[in-house]
Amino acid sequence: MKEPRSIVLTEEYAKKYFGEEDPIGQSLKIEQDTNVSVVTGVMQNFPENSHFHAKMLGSINTLPQNEDNLSWVNQNFYTYVVLAEGTDVEAFEAGLYEMVVKYVGPIVQQAMGIDLDQFEAAGNSYGYRLIPLTDLHLRSNLRFNIEPPGNPLYVYLFLVAAILILVIAGINFMNLATAQSSSRSQEVGLRKVVGSSKPQLIAQFLTESVILSLLALVVAIILVNILMPGYNNLIQKNLNFNVFDRSWILPLLVVFAIFIGIFSGGYPAFVLASFRPTAVLSSSKSSGRAGKGTLRKILIVMQFTTTVVILLGTVVVKRQLTFMQKKDPGFEREDVLVVHRSDALGESIDAFKQEISQHSNVMVAANSTHIPSGGFMGNAHWLEGRGTDDIYTLAMYRTSYDFDEALDLELVQGRFFSRDMPTDSFGVVVNEATLKVLGIDDPLNTRFFQPSYRGDPDEFMPIIGVVKDFHFESMANEIKPMAIHFMEGNQPGQLIVKLGDGQRKETISFIQDKWEALTSEYPFEYTWLDEEFSAMFEDERNTGQLLGIFSFLSIVITCLGLLGLISYATSQRRKEIGIRKIMGASIKVVMTLFSKETSILLGISALLSLPAYFGVKAWLQKFAYHIDFQWGFYFLVLAMVSLFVLLVALLTVSFHTYRVASANPVDSLRYE
C-alpha cells in the first residue's frame, strides 16, 4: 500500500464486491473521493478478539500531503510499531521523547511563545507512549480508541461470580452426598466386611465423583453452545466457544473437571469410608456417627453469604442504572433526530436545513462536530492576561447557529451564536465547569486563545455566553470544562434536528426525500439522540442483567444446598422427630424447630456480608454521579435482600420438613 489510492480488502468484502472474480487490480470508488482506488491485496477477516475490525485498509499516502496531515501535533493517527525481540521498551520510549523535543518543541514555541520546558512546567505534557497490543482492549486507559474498549472490572466481577457459583455447587454436592450417606451405609459395611480397606473405598467414591464431574463437563459444553447466542445478544458481543479452537482448551477443562470432582467429592468420600461395619450393619436405618453437621452448617452460611452479596450487588447496580437514566442530562434528548454524515451534502447543507424546516414538525436544525455521548475534541486554551503559564485543555465542540435550541441548552449568561451578530463566529461559548475550574469571575469580559484554531497569538476569542453544565459524556465522568466554537462551513459531523411531538414516520420520510434530492451518492442514515445517550449505559445495563442471572442461579443452588442440609439433619434426627410427635408435638412445632435453625444461619450470613458495603462503595466511586450509598441505605437493602432469601429458604425448609414431620413416628422408632 505504498502507492496513493491503493487498498486492501478483507476476504469478506472482496467476495461482497467481486464475488468469485480476482479482486487484485479491480477498482472501487470510496466516499467523497472523486478518484477510484485500486485493490492491491486481500487479507484475512479480522478475528473477533481484535481491538478493531476493519473491512478495508487504505494507503496513508492517499491523504492530502498538507500542513495538517504532516504536522507533528496531529493526533488523528495511531502508529503500530513492531519491536525487535529483546528491545528495551523504556529506552525506546525515551528516544520517542527526543523526537518530541526536536519536532514538537518548535511548534509550541511558534504557537505559544514559550519553549517546551516552560510548557511542561505549567503542568502540561505532550509525548508518545507505547501500549502493548494485548492491553489495548482492557488496559489502555486511552480517551479515544478505534472501537470502544472493554472494562476489566466487569471481567473480574463475572469471573469471581462464576467461581463463587462453582464453589457453591461443589459445596452442595458435599452436603447432598453426606445427607444421602445413610442409603449407602450398608454397602460400605458389607465392603469392609469382605476386605475393602478405607483407601480403596475413598478411591471408589472419588472415582464416582470425578465421573459425575466429567459428565457435567460434557453437559456444560453442550449447554454453552446452545445458550451462547442468547448470551451474546444479552451482552451485545459476538463470543464463540469451541473446545477444539486451541489444543490446550479441552485438556485444561478435563483437568479442571477432575479437580472439581476431587474437591467436591473428597469430604463425602472420607465420611462414607469412615463408617464402622458393626454400626451400619446393626440397623438398617443407621448411618453411623450422627455428628452435629457443623461443617455443613458453615458451608451453608458461606452459600447464604455469597447469595446475599450477589443480590446486594444486583440491587445497587439496578438502582445506579435507574439513577443515571432518570437524571437530568442538561439537554433535551427526546424527539431529537441525529442525521449522520451531514458533511456529505457539502455546500448544500444550508439549503437542506431550510428545506426540512418547512415541515411543520421540524422545530429547528443545527450542525455539530459532535453530539452528547458521541465524543469530543480536546484542545489547549489559555486566558488573556494570565500568560502561557495557565494553559487548559478544554473539551471542544464546533457547532452552527441554533445548536442551543436544538438541544434546549439553558443559557445562564450572555447569548449563543447569533446571525444578527457576525462577530459571534469568532466568539466562544463555555459551560459552568469552565468558569469553576479556570476561576473566571466575569466571563463576558474574558477572552480565550486557542492556538490550533486560529494560529495567531494576537487574536483572542471573547466568551459570548455561558451554558448550564450538561452531560456530553458518560456520567461515570465529572462534567469537564467545555468550549463551543462556531462551525465555519460544513465540517464533518452530524445534523441535529429537533422534532415536535408525533408524526415521526412522516417527518423522517420527508427529511429523507429532501436528502435524496440533494445527493444520491450517500445513504440517508439517522439515529435518535435518546438511543445514543442510552447506549452509554450499555456496560452497566449488561452488568445488571448478568448479575440478575447470577443471583437467580445462586438462589437456586443455595436452596439445593439447604435441601441437602435439611435432608441430612432430618435423617439424623428422625428418631427425635418421632419421639417429639409421640410426646404431642405438632407438625408446626417440628417445622418451626428447623426453620429457626435456618433463620439463625441466615442471620450469621447477613452479618458476614457487611464488608460487601466497602466493595459496593468502591464500585460506585467510579461514577462521578451516583446514588447516595450510606450505611443506612445499605442496611435497608441488606434487610430487604435477607428477608427475600429467608423467605425462599423457609419455603424450601418447610416443604421438606413437612414431608418428614408428616410421616408416621412408628416408622422412625420400630427398630428401637
Q: Is 242 exposed, middle or buried (0-12, 13-18, 19+ CB in 10 A)?
A: exposed
Q: Are 642 and 606 in contact (CB under 8 A)?
A: yes
pLDDT band at 533 (very low <50, low <70, confident <90, very high): confident
CA dihedral for 451, 452, 455, 460, sign (positive or negative): negative
Q: For residues 366 and 505, state if they share a domain.
A: yes
Q: Last residue of some domain: 82, 107, 135?
A: 135
What is the full DSSP assignment across 3-43?
A: STTEEEEEHHHHHHHHTTS--TT-EEE-TT-SSEEEEEEEE
Residues 423, 427, 428: CA angle, nearest 5 degrees: 160
Place of cell 478478539: 49
Query: Residue 43: beta bridge partners?
Result: 10
Take residue 561 and report the three cell numbers written for it.
Answer: 444446598
pLDDT for 286 equals 44
Look up residue 556 and give its amino acid.
V
Q: For residues 387 and 519, state if they share a domain.
A: yes
pLDDT band at 291 (very low <50, low <70, confident <90, very high): very low
Lowest mean pLDDT among 40-54, 266-280, 365-379, 502-516: 266-280
Q: For residues 518 and 565, state if they share a domain.
A: no
Whether pLDDT at 284 is above 60: no
Mean pLDDT rounded to a whole number for the chain: 81
Look up residue 342 and give its amino acid.
S
- SS3 assignment for 190-225: HHHHCCCCHHHHHHHHHHHHHHHHHHHHHHHHHHHH
d(CA 382, CA 123): 13
Q: What is the DSSP letter of 102?
A: I
Alpha-helix runs per DSSP H in 236-293: 249-273, 277-281
d(CA 301, CA 313): 18
Whether pLDDT at 671 is above 50: no
Q: For residues 312 and 356, state if they share a domain.
A: no
List the one residue out of 178, 165, 188 whose CA is nearest residue 566. 178
Q: Are 406 and 364 in contact (CB under 8 A)?
A: yes
Q: Which domain holds residue 509?
A: 342-524
- pLDDT tens, residue by residue, 444-493: 999 887 665 444 455 678 999 999 999 988 887 889 999 999 987 767 78
Q: Are 463 and 444 in contact (CB under 8 A)?
A: yes
pLDDT for 288 equals 44
Q: For residues 348 and 469, state if they share a domain.
A: yes
List the one residue out of 467, 448, 477, 461 whose CA is nearest residue 376. 477
Domain count, the chain: 3
Q: For residues 318 and 348, state if they share a domain.
A: no
pLDDT for 499 equals 94
Mean pLDDT of 436-441: 90
- pLDDT tens, residue by residue, 67-76: 666 778 777 7
Q: For residues 310 and 176, state if they share a domain.
A: yes
pLDDT band at 41 (very low <50, low <70, confident <90, very high): very high
The answer to the question of residue 660 being in a domain is: yes
Q: For residues 520 and 553, state if they share a domain.
A: no
The larger pLDDT score, comparing residue 539 to residue 616, is at 616
Q: Last residue of some domain: 111, 135, 159?
A: 135
Reduce the DSSP state of residue 277 to 3 states and report it. Answer: helix
The answer to the question of residue 218 being in a domain is: yes
Beta strands in 222-358 (DSSP E): 336-340
Mean pLDDT of 627-652: 82
Q: Last residue of some domain: 524, 557, 582?
A: 524
Q: For residues 308 and 228, state if they share a domain.
A: yes
d(CA 452, CA 72): 12
pLDDT band at 280 (very low <50, low <70, confident <90, very high): low
The answer to the question of residue 152 being in a domain is: no
Q: For residues 520 and 618, state if they share a domain.
A: no
pLDDT band at 346 (very low <50, low <70, confident <90, very high): confident
Whether pLDDT at 9 is above 90: yes
Q: Are 620 and 573 in contact (CB under 8 A)?
A: no
Q: Are 103 and 371 in contact (CB under 8 A)?
A: no
The answer to the question of residue 508 being in a domain is: yes
Whether pLDDT at 255 is above 60: yes
d(CA 111, CA 238): 47
The answer to the question of residue 531 being in a domain is: no
pLDDT band at 146 (very low <50, low <70, confident <90, very high): confident
The answer to the question of residue 537 being in a domain is: no
Take residue 228 and report the three cell numbers written for it.
Answer: 451462547
pLDDT band at 266 (very low <50, low <70, confident <90, very high): confident
The answer to the question of residue 150 being in a domain is: no
Q: For residues 475 and 554, state if they share a domain.
A: no
Q: For residues 196 and 313, state if they share a domain.
A: yes
- pLDDT tens, residue by residue, 589-600: 777 777 787 788
What is the full DSSP assignment across 109-161?
A: HHHHSS-HHHHHHTT---------GGGTTTS---SS-SSPPP-HHHHHHHHHH
pLDDT for 181 equals 65
What is the full DSSP assignment across 524-580?
A: --EEEHHHHHHHTTHHHHHHHHHHHHHHHHHHHHHHHHHHHHHHHHHHHTHHHHHHH
d(CA 534, CA 322): 11
CA distances from 619 to 310, 319, 466, 535 (A): 14, 13, 33, 20
d(CA 295, CA 302): 11
- Strands 6-10 and 36-43, how do they pair? parallel
- Strands 461-467 and 447-449, how do they pair? antiparallel
The answer to the question of residue 450 being in a domain is: yes
What is the full DSSP assignment across 479-535?
A: PPPEEEEEPPS--SSEEEEEE-SS-HHHHHHHHHHHHHHH-SSS---EEEHHHHHHH
